[in-house]
Amino acid sequence: MDSAIQIINNLTIGFTSQKGKQISILKNISTTIKKGETVGIVGESGSGKSTLALAMMGYVKHGLYTISGECLFHSNNLLEMKNKDLENIRGRKIAMIPQNAGQSLTPNLKIGYQIDEALKLHTDLKKEERDKKISELLNKVRLPSPEIMAQRYPHELSGGQQQRVAVAMALAGNPELLLLDEPTTGLDVTTQAHVLELLNFIAKDTGTSMVYVSHDLGAIAQVSDRVIVMYSGEIVLDGPVRSILKNPIHPYTFGLLKSIPKLTSPGLPDSMSGSQPQPGTIKTGCSFYERCNLAEDKCKNNSPTLEYIDDLNTSVRCFKYKELINVKETNLDIVKSINNDVLQNEILDISKVSISYAKQKFIDQLLNKIDDSNPTVQDINININKGETLALVGESGSGKSTILKSIAGLLKTKDGMIKFDKDKVLSNDLKMRDPGFLRAIQLIFQNPDESLNPNHTVEEIVSQPLRLYFGLKGDELKQKIIEVLEKVRLGEFYLTRYPRQLSGGEKQRVAVARAFAAKPDIILCDEVTSALDVSVQAAVLNLLQELKEDFGTTYIFVSHDLAVVRAISDRVAVLYQGRLCEIGPSKNVYQLPSHPYTEVLLGAVLEPDPDVKPKLVAEDIVEEMPPEKGCSFQGRCPRILGDICKNEVPPWQIGENGNSIRCHIKVEELKKQQNIN
């Protein structure tokens, strides 16, 4: 069990900057991967974790090169090996499962061919044997009807299926070591839980060693025996999963764990200030110095070394780790709960709204015929009170963003009505809307890289709503811009900057500032934190909450992340295939009894705790279209009753906690069934 498969010695990888300076991305990495072990490498974007994983295959990206050190696989240095020899190791001895399987499968080749290619390269099997093996592999990763699957092109598969194909391809060569680079990022919660469960099964079944790279501590907790935490190209902590996640003795890991919103302890997580330094900016001292609460003068000028602590079996790079050894696990819990001033004053009334993406065909348009079959979003009734935060949750395709777009006027509704401030009907057509209503409803998008014009400075970006809605000019305008920026904690110094000169968190702050500059009554937040790192996510969530308390703004918050939603919302609406399943105060929705879909979602959430396993209740099939009649969740429901679910739209029932559940099963019955599990 203890024999080493891969030994990395003092590995430093970097690039030469435009000024001719050598800049390191990885600094002096040394670690050993043992046989049968699963090692999780965790870090935020830019920490060098993917570069490290690729180096373990002897692959260094275009533009980067090895400065020093070695990567030994069975005592051969992969980084000095010829391509010819590497071809015999890659795929055969060490295999990679990529982050985005959709983009990592060659689009013009069939699934079967791509697996066959790996088999041809790495085994001596004959054609018929290989065909059999392909089916076997596809079966092993639990894809339905392998023969048909093999004939498909990558784009004909869903995200989860593509990821499974990538796993099957990696297993084709029967490797000793599997490298997984964020294999579940970008998948839906339930799919993610299923893929992780499959990986765990494969690790046990084949005894393969695994290196699991991820930014998600929840996923890492589920699969790893040992965890390596990386920060700014260095290993800062390395030890057994339980001790790392339950008693993190490095201040960065401690902060990281505190910044994750958790289902079990509701409220806003603490945020770490600042962001990871850019490669090449740190000259002396600890790279975490600027963000560290425990830092002292010594840390500024001296770089700590990785120190092995015997009784914890852990290595740590910190002078002050002793202060964290006795910190109890409960200190990681969240204490800051939200307390919104919700007025019993309705600000938005969405009634019977249906939205359809189906385009009217030209001929139908001429005949003035309307295609009224099966709209994407149907029969949405929600009232939102002033000062409230309402969250819309669901997996991809649940219609949550579609609803936001309709409220903002970007998408026409097919049926129903949206009323603002009790009786003012919002026109379906954006051009017909009163400018006052446009100002009142602002939108913040998921990805600030795409929502901020790259050719505008921060000043221009924030000035637009001020000029448009308030007609400000000159000094007055500038004064106001600075005021708004200070609200989101960006100084005057940012005025002349372009979006590309800002970090991800700063960019999202600018987007928040732009929304607040309009003094809106309602802000629509579309997955605003999902493109951000955990520590930055916590900061943005806290900022949104503070601004809300200052201005009494109402939020409609769309997210796929149930823990984030739990942290920030007063009320939650759960959507499946464009239909409401459950709605109610968030603390009640997160409690049983709940709608079977909510139950499935909650069960699949990954907590950063190796002792809390996800509960997989339903299959992770992807449905492309909502069913034409009956309950929207009938296709995946683990508690399906039969024909009644297929034919009749379920009624709304009031649960005992005051949440409304739309299900044919009686609430009492649901409670009984869910308590057993």
Partner 1 sequence: MLLLVLKRILLGFITLFIVSLITFSGVEVLPGDACTTYLEREAYGAALEACYERLGLNTPAHERYISWAAGVLQGDFGYSLSGEMRINDVLGPRVKNSMVLASASILIGIPIALLLGIITALWRDKLPDIIISTITIFSMTIPEFISATLLILIVAIWLEWLPGIVIVPTGASISELLPNIILPVIAISMIMTAHMARMVRSSVIQVMASDYVQMAILKGVPYWKMVFKHVLPNALLPAINVVALTIAWLLGGVVVTEVVFNYPGLGRLVIESISNRDLPVVQALAIILASIYVSINLIADLMTLMLNPRLKSLQIKK
**Which residue's CB is nearer to partner 1, number 115 or number 443?**
115
- Provide the minimum distance between the beta carbon of 175 and partner 1 in the complex, in angstroms, as a whole number: 10
- Provide the minimum distance between the beta carbon of 360 and partner 1 in the complex, in angstroms, as a whole number: 15
**Which residue's CB is nearer to partner 1, number 158 or number 586?**
158
Quick one: which of 232, 218, 228 has its CA closest to 187? 218
**Binding residue (CB under 8 A) for partner 1 from 100, 303, 457, 673:** 100
In 96-216, alpha helices (H): 101-104, 111-122, 127-140, 146-150, 159-171, 189-206
The residues with which 76 forms a beta bridge, in sequence order, are 73
Longest CA–CA separation in the chain, Å: 80
Rule CB under 8 A: say whether 639 interacts with partner 1.
no
- Provide the minimum distance between the beta carbon of 76 and partner 1 in the complex, in angstroms, as a whole number: 15
Structure tokens at 238: 């390395």
The Cβ of residue 531 has, within 10 Å, a number of other Cβ atoms equal to 18
Rule CB under 8 A: say whether 374 interacts with partner 1.
no
**Binding residue (CB under 8 A) for partner 1 from 27, 49, 122, 386:** 122
Q: Which residue has the tokens 């809605």?
A: 469
Q: Is 209 exposed, middle or buried (0-12, 13-18, 19+ CB in 10 A)?
A: buried
Helices 504-517, 534-551: inter-axial angle, 10-degree rounding: 20
- Provide the minimum distance between the beta carbon of 151 and partner 1 in the complex, in angstroms, as a whole number: 11
Amino acid at position 478, single letter: K
Is 474 in a helix, a strand, or coil? helix
- Provide the minimum distance between the beta carbon of 120 and partner 1 in the complex, in angstroms, as a whole number: 10
Radius of gyration of the chain (CA): 26
Backbone angles phi, psi at 516, to 5 degrees: -75, -25
Rule CB under 8 A: say whether 49 interacts with partner 1.
no
**Which residue's CB is nearer to partner 1, number 92 or number 671?**
92
List b or e across 331-365, with b for residues whose CB sees 16 or more CB atoms inside 10 angstroms: ebebeeebebebeeebbbbbeebbbbeeeeeeeee
Amino acid at position 575, single letter: L
Rule CB under 8 A: say whether 64 interacts with partner 1.
no
Q: Residue count at the site for partner 1 (CB under 8 A)?
A: 34
**Binding residue (CB under 8 A) for partner 1 from 82, 126, 155, 359:** 155
Q: How many angstroms separate the CA atoms of 42 and 237, rounded?
A: 10
Q: How many angstroms separate the CA atoms of 69 and 9, rounded?
A: 5
Q: Is 322 exposed, middle or buried (0-12, 13-18, 19+ CB in 10 A)?
A: exposed
**Binding residue (CB under 8 A) for partner 1 from 25, 71, 157, 169:** 169
Q: How many residues does the chain have?
A: 677
Rule CB under 8 A: say whether 104 interacts with partner 1.
yes
Rule CB under 8 A: say whether 156 interacts with partner 1.
yes
Rule CB under 8 A: say whether 63 interacts with partner 1.
no
The H or E element containing residue 22 is: strand 22-34
Give the interface segment with partner 1, choosing from 70-78, 114-122, 505-513, 522-530 (CB under 8 A). Answer: 114-122
- Provide the minimum distance between the beta carbon of 113 and partner 1 in the complex, in angstroms, as a whole number: 9
Structure tokens at 72: 């030994």
Q: Do the bridges between strand 346-355 and strand 377-385 make them parallel or antiparallel, or are there none, so unpaired?
A: antiparallel
Structure tokens at 483: 């005021």
Rule CB under 8 A: say whether 105 interacts with partner 1.
yes
Give the interface segment with partner 1, choosing from 92-100, 135-143, 439-447, 525-533 (CB under 8 A). Answer: 92-100
Rule CB under 8 A: say whether 153 interacts with partner 1.
yes
Rule CB under 8 A: say whether 62 interacts with partner 1.
yes
Quick one: which of 511, 516, 583, 526 has its CA closest to 549? 516
The H or E element containing residue 180 is: strand 177-181
Give the interface segment with partner 1, choosing from 11-19, 104-112, 182-190, 627-635 (CB under 8 A). Answer: 104-112
Rule CB under 8 A: say whether 367 interacts with partner 1.
no
Rule CB under 8 A: say whether 140 interacts with partner 1.
no
Amino acid at position 272, single letter: M
The Cβ of residue 625 has, within 10 Å, a number of other Cβ atoms equal to 10
Rule CB under 8 A: say whether 106 interacts with partner 1.
yes
**Binding residue (CB under 8 A) for partner 1 from 26, 55, 71, 89:** 89
CA 303 to chain centre: 33
- Provide the minimum distance between the beta carbon of 100 and partner 1 in the complex, in angstroms, as a whole number: 6
The CA angle 199-202-203, to the nearest 5 degrees, is 85
**Binding residue (CB under 8 A) for partner 1 from 3, 18, 75, 108:** 108
**Binding residue (CB under 8 A) for partner 1 from 11, 55, 60, 95:** 95
Query: Distance between terminal CA atoms of the chain?
Result: 36
CA 668 to chain centre: 34
Give the interface segment with partner 1, choosing from 94-102, 133-141, 567-575, 650-658 (CB under 8 A). Answer: 94-102
Per the CB < 8 A criterion, the answer to whether 659 and 587 are in contact is no
Q: How many angstroms separate the CA atoms of 535 and 582, rounded?
A: 30
**Binding residue (CB under 8 A) for partner 1 from 3, 18, 107, 344:** 107
**Which residue's CB is nearer to partner 1, number 60 or number 452?**
60
**Which residue's CB is nearer to partner 1, number 181 or number 527?**
181
Rule CB under 8 A: say whether 501 interacts with partner 1.
no
CA 134 vs CA 159, 512, 667: distances in Å: 20, 50, 46
Rule CB under 8 A: say whether 103 interacts with partner 1.
yes
Residues sharing a CB contact under 8 Å with residue 368, sequence separation 6 or more, in sequence order: none
CA 212 vs CA 19, 50, 225, 235, 288: distances in Å: 35, 10, 10, 15, 24
Rule CB under 8 A: say whether 551 interacts with partner 1.
no
**Which residue's CB is nearer to partner 1, number 88 or number 453?**
88
Give the interface segment with partner 1, choosing from 106-114, 491-499, 592-600, 660-668 (CB under 8 A). Answer: 106-114
Rule CB under 8 A: say whether 92 interacts with partner 1.
yes
**Which residue's CB is nearer to partner 1, number 77 or number 381?**
77
- Provide the minimum distance between the beta carbon of 98 and partner 1 in the complex, in angstroms, as a whole number: 6
**Binding residue (CB under 8 A) for partner 1 from 4, 23, 72, 121:** 121
Give the interface segment with partner 1, choosing from 52-60, 272-280, 281-289, 454-462 (CB under 8 A). Answer: 52-60
Give the interface segment with partner 1, choosing from 103-111, 304-312, 344-352, 378-386 (CB under 8 A). Answer: 103-111
Rule CB under 8 A: say whether 59 interacts with partner 1.
yes
Quick one: which of 402, 399, 417 has its CA closest to 579? 399
- Provide the minimum distance between the beta carbon of 108 and partner 1 in the complex, in angstroms, as a whole number: 5
Rule CB under 8 A: say whether 45 interacts with partner 1.
no
The Cβ of residue 437 has, within 10 Å, a number of other Cβ atoms equal to 19
**Binding residue (CB under 8 A) for partner 1 from 7, 23, 81, 86:** 86
Rule CB under 8 A: say whether 90 interacts with partner 1.
yes
**Binding residue (CB under 8 A) for partner 1 from 159, 173, 610, 655:** 173
Rule CB under 8 A: say whether 83 interacts with partner 1.
yes
**Binding residue (CB under 8 A) for partner 1 from 8, 111, 118, 573:** 118
Rule CB under 8 A: say whether 87 interacts with partner 1.
yes
Q: How many angstroms separate the CA atoms of 676 and 453, rounded?
A: 53
* Residues contributing to the site for partner 1 (CB under 8 A): 54, 57, 59, 62, 83, 86-92, 95-96, 98-100, 103-109, 117-118, 121-122, 153, 155-156, 166, 169, 173
